[in-house]
Structure 1
Amino acid sequence: MSDVAGMGENVSVSSGVGAGAGADTSGVRVPRVLSIAGSDPSGGAGIQADLKSIAANGGYGMAAITALTAQNTQGVSGVHVPPASFLKEQLDAVSDDVTIDAVKIGMLGTPEVVAVVQQWLARVKPPLIVLDPVMVATSGDRLLDTEAELALRELVRVSDLVTPNIPELAIIAGEPAAETWDEVLAQAGRVSASYGVRVLAKGGHLSGAEAPDALVDARFGNEPVVTEFAGIRLETTNTHGTGCSLSSALATRIAATGDWAAAVGESKRWLSESIRAGAALQVGGGHGPVNHFAGLWARGGVETAPTAAEVREHWWAEIAGIRAQIDNGDFVRALGDGSLERGDFVWYLAQDALYLRDYARALAEAARLAPTAAEQAFWASSAEGCIVTELQLHESWSPSGEVFAASPSATTTGYLNHLLATAARGDYAVLAAALLPCFWVYHDVGSRLHPLAHAEHPYADWLTTYADDAFTDATEQAITIVTALAADATPPVRDAMLGAFVASTEHEREFFAAAHGVTAN
């Protein structure tokens, strides 16, 4: 098609236009969360689970290892605790360089390890501490000796949130284990008041179909504030590392928002989603892990997003064959060497004038749908260029008005039906892609035709329009807008955009081809 924006306002559009909120993350807080815990080489629990959980919930995870275990989904066969002095080196190395937004504490194991962690916390004073008190194994066996349990209780006092299971809650309280949900809540209230810490009470060890959780806060000696979260017990063996995963998710979400109740609710829903998807991993023959990224994979996939520059290169290569057909077509070759019959050229102008009227409507619709002022101004300016400047240019070639007396050909009608149908569907990104070839392809053809416009060339005045600087700028702006939209789009939308772009390019080819030999026919 013709130069549709060359005479309009030259609107500046940055390379980020259309990129959406995800392109500028300056306002997004990514919490930096340190896990202090043991290692699980099978990947389901410990720091491995913590790092997955932190990432899955929007944080940047770090880890200081307290113990090395030999374990898998069927159990632990060995534990090696490195010197506590080396744990101190790990903690100091991280905190001396990185600002830590939250700390999640898991397996500690010995009084010496607990003491190192306590001293480090007192020095660094991280803004949020979440303690998952690893004290009782799933089998019911006690994991800590009496001295270590006493040391861990002191760590509870400096934590902001503790996430014990029912047996661990009882040890912290120094009481028998609760047997009903009401008893769990009451015991959690006493622990909260006694230690000055929020307690996430968990009902997973109770029998029955329900598995409730509750955030219990009695830190100020008043009646406990209890926020309950309903839950349904999931029938699955993929429960390895659920305590680690939940506490890490909580640390991440609380650090990001400061909203305790919302963080618990979202973390609980995320963990349920991950548990449900755990069996699909097919890891191990015992209690398998949860699938930490199941929801992200399902909603976002793992396909990488191209940059705008990569979209530009890919799309241009995608239509290379069509562009070659346009360049080698009879109309373009005859227009270039001046042998084109004047009747064919006037017919082309008449169809182009008809095209531009409705193309302007599609441009105006893009302006209406565009999300930013810069994009709105660009498309609106282009629409004005179609109606005012370009149609005047057509008229100058046909003072008798024959250009405007024609009826649309089947080729013109087909192209316009494609554009107007795309506009009617209301998808801005796809519409923008469909509009792009009228800029990009036409400018590409013109860049080769313009040098042929010598003084005796019968269409020299027309060919010089291809060299218009404003149209060159407008074409670059259109490419910038559309490729940025494509880079930011989901894969299905990006595919739809490419489909619309290729279809319009094919219509461009047919539009040029239809104009040759009309006079002879």
Structure 2
Amino acid sequence: MTAGARAPRVPRVLSIAGTDPSGGAGIQADLKSIAAMGGYGMAVVTALVAQNTRGVRAVHVPPPEFLRTQLDAVGDDVEIDAIKIGMLHSEPLVAVVDDWLARRGHDLVVLDPVMVATSGDRLLDPAAEAAIRALCGRVALVTPNLPELAVLAEEPVARTWLDALAQAQRFARTSGAAVLVKGGHLDGDECPDAIVTPDGVAAEVLRRRIASTNTHGTGCSLSSAMATLGASGVGWTGALARATEWLAGSITAGAALGVGRGNGPVDHLHELRPHLPSPVSWTERAWAGAAPLRAAVGSCAFVEGLRTGELDEPVFAWYLQQDALYLSEYARVLARASALAPRGEEQVFWAEAAASAIAVESELHRSRVGADAADPAAATLAYTDHLHAASARGSYGELVAALLPCFWLYSDVGERFAAASHPDHPYRDWLSTYADPAFAASTRAAIEIVERAAADASAAERERMSVAFTRSMRRELAFFEAPVTELAGATSAGGPARGA
């Protein structure tokens, strides 16, 4: 049975896993996740685990014969549409499950291979690891974290996303199972996930990393959600987008539960509480997630020099020439947003913004540096290429999310500039442009438009919006850093500084 096969209206999903009496992981998390995805959950216990949000205290493993009796009791009576497998404590337990699956022969199985602790310690002996590796040949999807993927592949832990995808493909070819690769163990603000088959990457979701300690049981929850969606007839591509969007919301809402004093659980059922307000809006989450990038912009040499007035004039002139090139392309992308906008007032807003970029801000550039042409720098090209790519994909939500940082970030910087401005400031005209109340009002309107777009978007499009917003914030930082680094490089090379 494959993920795209026809399934009953209410999928019946069996979890084979250990327990968590605090409710955040194990079969307790599995049952909540199955319910959240619209399924009917069942559970066979492999191990009784005394744990809470702070850690594991003890594990009691019933005899393998009792595991077999539980499996037969469910399988003899209930038609099972999907099976999620979690903690299998030892090789004898793996053997029981493997034999039971072999006798059934047709199940949609998702395996979350619990093999490596958060600390990095191996949880299974070599015999059990080998048994889990062999079990992967019976499953449709395996969902390891990166250390677990390394154990399965018998390779070192991948240190980059591209290395992880390549390692997953090698293991998929060996095992025949698709692999859900999770980038949570990697550094950086983006947290990617992907479905990798023997043929390569079948689906990929990029989302912003959520700053939260409510991550207890996320691996259990994601694998159970994928099993339920697969049993519902959703292909792995759609299942990945839906499950990761739901899990991101669960993590965000988890803090409100107030459960435990360690790494708390996620709120699996946050979507079933319409009477409660959302903890934060999409734009608030995006802005909060970009806090490190915003801080880097505020402290970079160019912005600080512009604020104090100590910025060298050649550096500012170089920036203005690049900004003029940027605005020319930016205006075209704004016009594209106007064409895609679903509402008349939004069409007008983006069209007026395009006109403003050309008629108002470009005029300020000409008054400062004249009409001399300049070649676009690498940072300029990278930013405009990113915007044009978002425009070409035809997703209104993704495009306006990519455009929003050029409003919001400059308005945010403008507030700092307003406090520093004085009649003798050498860059007062520039500072006043972004501290202007009319620009602040436009920024608020842009935020409202993007928030509406997020509300109208599918889960997959909201993921793309998050990626587009974060990438634009990164491009903004690179754009602000470029004047100083470019001129410093030109000076150290002994050549004239461009724009000087």
Which residue of the partner structure matches residue 140 of structure 1?
120
CA contact (8 A) 2:101 2:107 kept: no
Which residue of the partner structure matches residue 158 of structure 1?
138
In 2, the alpha carbon distance for the partners of 1:46 and 1:28 equals: 25
Q: Which has the larger radius of gyration?
A: 1
Moved segments of 4+, more than 2 Å: 298-301
In 2, the alpha carbon distance for the partners of 1:52 and 1:103 equals: 15
In 1, the alpha carbon distance for the partners of 2:39 and 2:137 equals: 25
In 2, the alpha carbon distance for the partners of 1:300 and 1:154 equals: 46
How many residue pairs match? The answer is 271
Of the two structures, which has the highest relative contact order with CA contacts closer than 8 Å and spacing of 6 or more? 1
Alignment of 1:201-240 (within 5 A): 201-218=181-198, 223-240=199-216
RMSD: 1.4
Q: How many angstroms does 1:73 deviate by? A: 0.2
In 2, the alpha carbon distance for the partners of 1:139 and 1:125 equals: 36
CA contact (8 A) 1:102 1:126 kept: no
Alignment of 1:351-500 (within 5 A): none
> Which amino acid in structure 2 is aligned with residue 120 of structure 1?
W
Which residue of the partner structure matches residue 24 of structure 2?
44
Q: Answer yes or no: is 1:34 the counterpart of 2:14.
A: yes
**Quick one: which of 235, 239, 248 aligns to 1:263?**
239
**Quick one: which of 178, 195, 208 aligns to 1:198?**
178
Q: Answer yes or no: is 1:70 the counterpart of 2:45.
A: no
Q: How many angstroms does 1:297 deviate by? A: 1.1
In 1, the alpha carbon distance for the partners of 2:105 and 2:33 equals: 23
Q: Answer yes or no: is 1:247 the counterpart of 2:223.
A: yes
In 2, the alpha carbon distance for the partners of 1:42 and 1:28 equals: 32
Alignment of 1:177-188 (within 5 A): 177-188=157-168
Which residue of the partner structure matches residue 122 of structure 1?
102
* Unaligned ranges ≥5, structure 1: 1-26, 302-521
Which residue of the partner structure matches residue 409 of structure 2?
none
**Quick one: which of 245, 251, 268 aligns to 1:275?**
251
Going from structure 1 to structure 2, the CA distance change for 1:126 and 1:278 (only over 3 Å counts) comes to farther
> Which amino acid in structure 1 is aligned with residue 259 of structure 2?
V
**Percent identical across equivalent pairs?**
62
In 1, the alpha carbon distance for the partners of 2:64 and 2:8 equals: 36
CA contact (8 A) 2:109 2:140 kept: yes
CA contact (8 A) 2:202 2:237 kept: no
TM-score, structure 1 normalization = 0.51
Q: How many angstroms does 1:258 deviate by? A: 3.6
Deviations 1:4-25 (A, max 9, x none): xxxxxxxxxxxxxxxxxxxxxx
1:150 is paired with a residue whose SS is helix
> Which amino acid in structure 1 is aligned with residue 44 of structure 2?
A
In 1, the alpha carbon distance for the partners of 2:191 and 2:178 equals: 20
In 2, the alpha carbon distance for the partners of 1:280 and 1:244 equals: 20
Q: How many angstroms does 1:296 deviate by? A: 1.3
In 2, the alpha carbon distance for the partners of 1:191 and 1:28 equals: 31
In 1, the alpha carbon distance for the partners of 2:161 and 2:254 equals: 27
CA contact (8 A) 1:39 1:48 kept: yes
Deviations 1:320-340 (A, max 9, x none): xxxxxxxxxxxxxxxxxxxxx
CA contact (8 A) 1:100 1:126 kept: no
Q: How many angstroms does 1:293 deviate by? A: 0.3
1:39 is paired with a residue whose SS is coil
CA contact (8 A) 1:214 1:228 kept: yes
Which residue of the partner structure matches residue 271 of structure 2?
295
> Which amino acid in structure 2 is aligned with residue 89 of structure 1?
T
1:257 is paired with a residue whose SS is coil
CA contact (8 A) 1:67 1:79 kept: yes
CA contact (8 A) 1:101 1:126 kept: no
Going from structure 1 to structure 2, the CA distance change for 1:72 and 1:259 (only over 3 Å counts) comes to same
Q: How many angstroms does 1:300 deviate by? A: 9.2
Moved more, 97-106 or 256-265: 256-265
In 1, the alpha carbon distance for the partners of 2:276 and 2:262 equals: 30
CA contact (8 A) 1:69 1:78 kept: yes
In 1, the alpha carbon distance for the partners of 2:129 and 2:157 equals: 16
In 2, the alpha carbon distance for the partners of 1:80 and 1:161 equals: 28
In 2, the alpha carbon distance for the partners of 1:276 and 1:254 equals: 25
In 1, the alpha carbon distance for the partners of 2:159 and 2:180 equals: 17
Going from structure 1 to structure 2, the CA distance change for 1:296 and 1:174 (only over 3 Å counts) comes to same
Going from structure 1 to structure 2, the CA distance change for 1:98 and 1:300 (only over 3 Å counts) comes to farther
CA contact (8 A) 2:18 2:49 kept: yes
**Quick one: which of 71, 74, 78 aligns to 1:94?**
74
Which residue of the partner structure matches residue 467 of structure 1?
none
Q: How many angstroms does 1:226 deviate by? A: 3.2
**Quick one: which of 41, 44, 49 aligns to 1:61?**
41
Deviations 1:331-378 (A, max 9, x none): xxxxxxxxxxxxxxxxxxxxxxxxxxxxxxxxxxxxxxxxxxxxxxxx
CA contact (8 A) 2:165 2:201 kept: no
Which residue of the partner structure matches residue 464 of structure 2?
none
Q: How many angstroms does 1:84 deviate by? A: 0.5
2:72 is paired with a residue whose SS is helix
In 1, the alpha carbon distance for the partners of 2:30 and 2:84 equals: 8
In 1, the alpha carbon distance for the partners of 2:248 and 2:234 equals: 22
Going from structure 1 to structure 2, the CA distance change for 1:299 and 1:266 (only over 3 Å counts) comes to farther
Which residue of the partner structure matches residue 174 of structure 1?
154
* Unaligned ranges ≥5, structure 2: 1-6, 278-500
Q: How many angstroms does 1:299 deviate by? A: 6.5
Q: How many angstroms does 1:63 deviate by? A: 0.3
2:232 is paired with a residue whose SS is helix
In 2, the alpha carbon distance for the partners of 1:116 and 1:203 equals: 31
In 1, the alpha carbon distance for the partners of 2:141 and 2:274 equals: 31
Deviations 1:280-317 (A, max 9, x none): 0000110000000011112799xxxxxxxxxxxxxxxx
